[in-house]
Amino acid sequence: MHERDVALFDAIASALTASDLERALEAALREIVRALDLAAGWIWIVDPQTGRFYLAAAHELPPYLREPVQMTGDPCWCMESFVDGDFDSKNVDIIACSRLRRGAREGGDALTLGLQSHASIALRFGERRLGIMNVCPPVPRKLSESDLRLLSVAGAQIGLAVERGRLAEEEAGAARSAERTRLAREIHDTLAQDLAAIVLQLESALRSLPADSPAAQRVMTALGVARGSMTQARASVLSLRSDPLAGRALATALAALARRLSSETGMRVTLHQRGATALPSEAEGELFRIASEALANARLHAAASRIEIELSEEGDAVALRIRDDGAGFDPASRGDERYGLRGMEERARLAGGRLRVESDRTRGTLIEAIVPKALA
C-alpha cells in the first residue's frame, strides 16, 4: 500500500469521527478529492424515511451542478444503476453523468468545466444500500486501477460511518418513543384514574352537604381543583400520544425535514446540533413547526442554494436558528403575505420564548427562536 493511500485512509478516519454526519462526509470527501487530485465530488445518501436520494455532501461542483434545481433526488443514470444493482462497492466504474450531459447541452464547458462522467462508488453496509459517492477526474485524465481500488476502500469507510450515524438516530428515536408511551400509560393508569376517583368522591360528598354550608364551599373548591387537574392529565396523555415529532427527538425530526427538502429541491439543507437540547414536548413541537414554516418560506420565496439549521444549548435555553443564502425581505413589512412570520412569533411565545428575524435582499435571512428549557 502506498504512503499516499495510508495517509488518505487516516485522514478519512479522522474526518468521520465528527458527530455531525454531514460535516463528517464533507470533510471526508474533501480529503478524497485532494488526495487523488480530482476535479469534483458529491455524495448522495438514501433517506431512510422516504427512500429518496438527497445531496449529503459536495466539493468543488461545476457551476451547473451548483444550481439547486439540478441536484434534486430525481433519478439520474448513476442512481438508476445503483437501484438496479449494476454496481456495488467492489465494482467502481466510470459512468456518464446525465446531469452533466444536460448541462453541456445547455451551456457547454462554461457550466460543466468539460466534465461529462464520474466514477460512482456504492456506499453500503453489508447488504444495506446507503448511497453513492461520485467523483470526477480533471479532463482529460482517467482514473487508474489503483485509484479505483482506493475509492472502493474509501467508500467502505464512508458506508460504515453512514450506518453508524443512522443506527444512533434510530436508537435515540426508539428510546424516546418508548419513554413517551410509558409516561402516557402511567399518567392514564395512575394519576388520571386517581383524580377521576377523587372527583367522584367529592361529588358524592357535596350532595350530602347543605348547599350554603362552609363545608360545601370548601368541597366545591376542591372539586374544581380536582377536575382541572384531571383535564390537564388527560391533555398530557393526548400530547404524549399525538406528537408532531412522531416520537422523535427534535434534532432527529429536524434532520429528517432537512433531508426531505434537500431531496425535493436540490438545496443543501443541513442540521448542526450543539449541546443537550432536550425541551418539554410542547416547546419541541412549537420549534419544529417554526422550522417547518421557515423552510417552507425559504423554498417558496428565497431561491436559496444553502440553508443551515442550528439547534444549540445556550445556558438555560435552547436556540433554533435557520439561515439561508437566498433573496431576503423587509422584516418590517407586515402585510398579509407575512402571516407565516406572525405565526412563528406566536409559536415562540407559546413555548415561553421569543423570535428574532434578520433579513435583507442581498444577504439572505436568519430566523432565530430562543426558548427556555423549562416552560415559562
- Taking the C-alpha atoms of residue 230 and residue 242, their distance in angstroms, rounded to an integer, is 18
The C-alpha cell 477526474 sits at 137
On the CB side of 198, CA atoms within 13 Å amount to: 18
Torsion of CA 344, 340, 298, 368, to 10 degrees: -20
- pLDDT at 138 exceeding the cut of 80: yes
- Taking the C-alpha atoms of residue 245 and residue 253, their distance in angstroms, rounded to an integer, is 6
Q: Higher confidence at residue 41 or residue 233?
A: 41
What pLDDT, in 10s, does the model give residues 266-278? 888 999 888 877 7
* Domain 3-169 fold: Beta-Lactamase (3.30.450)
- Taking the C-alpha atoms of residue 282 and residue 265, their distance in angstroms, rounded to an integer, is 30
Q: Higher confidence at residue 256 or residue 225?
A: 256
- Taking the C-alpha atoms of residue 21 and residue 309, their distance in angstroms, rounded to an integer, is 14
- Residue 78 near residue 118 (C-beta atoms within 8 A): yes
CA terminus-to-terminus distance, the chain? 61
Here the cell at position 221 is 373548591
Task: Kindly report the average pLDDT of the chain as a whole number.
Answer: 83
DSSP at 356: E
- Per-residue pLDDT, 340: 75
**84-93, 128-137, 205-214, 292-301: the lowest-pLDDT one:** 84-93
What pLDDT, in 10s, does the model give residues 68-84? 888 998 888 888 888 88
Q: Higher confidence at residue 3 or residue 109?
A: 109
Instruction: Name the pTM for this structure.
Output: 0.74
- Residue 293 near residue 340 (C-beta atoms within 8 A): yes
Angle, vertex CA 9, rays to CA 8 and CA 15, nearest 5: 90
Q: What percent of the chain has pLDDT over 90?
A: 28
- Taking the C-alpha atoms of residue 358 and residue 230, their distance in angstroms, rounded to an integer, is 43
Angle separating helix axes 3-15 and 21-35, nearest 10 degrees = 160
| Count of C-beta atoms within a 10 Å radius of residue 216 | 16
- Residue 350 near residue 376 (C-beta atoms within 8 A): no
- Residue 30 near residue 42 (C-beta atoms within 8 A): no
**115-124, 237-246, 273-282, 360-369: the lowest-pLDDT one:** 237-246
What pLDDT, in 10s, does the model give residues 160-186? 888 888 877 666 655 555 555 666 666
Q: Which amino acid does the sequence have at 336?
A: D
Angle separating helix axes 281-297 and 339-350, nearest 10 degrees = 160
Q: How confident is the model at residue 376 (pLDDT cuts 50, 70, 90)?
A: very low
- pLDDT at 231 exceeding the cut of 80: no
- Taking the C-alpha atoms of residue 151 and residue 135, their distance in angstroms, rounded to an integer, is 9
* Domain 250-372 fold: Heat Shock Protein 90 (3.30.565)
Q: How confident is the model at residue 44 (pLDDT cuts 50, 70, 90)?
A: very high
Q: How confident is the model at residue 371 (pLDDT cuts 50, 70, 90)?
A: very high
- Taking the C-alpha atoms of residue 325 and residue 69, their distance in angstroms, rounded to an integer, is 15
| Count of C-beta atoms within a 10 Å radius of residue 235 | 10
- Per-residue pLDDT, 210: 82
**122 Cβ contact list (under 8 Å, min separation 6):** 82, 87, 88, 89, 91, 129, 131, 132, 155
Q: What are phi and psi of 199, to 5 degrees?
A: -60, -45
Q: How confident is the model at residue 4 (pLDDT cuts 50, 70, 90)?
A: confident
- pLDDT at 244 exceeding the cut of 60: no
- pLDDT at 57 exceeding the cut of 90: yes
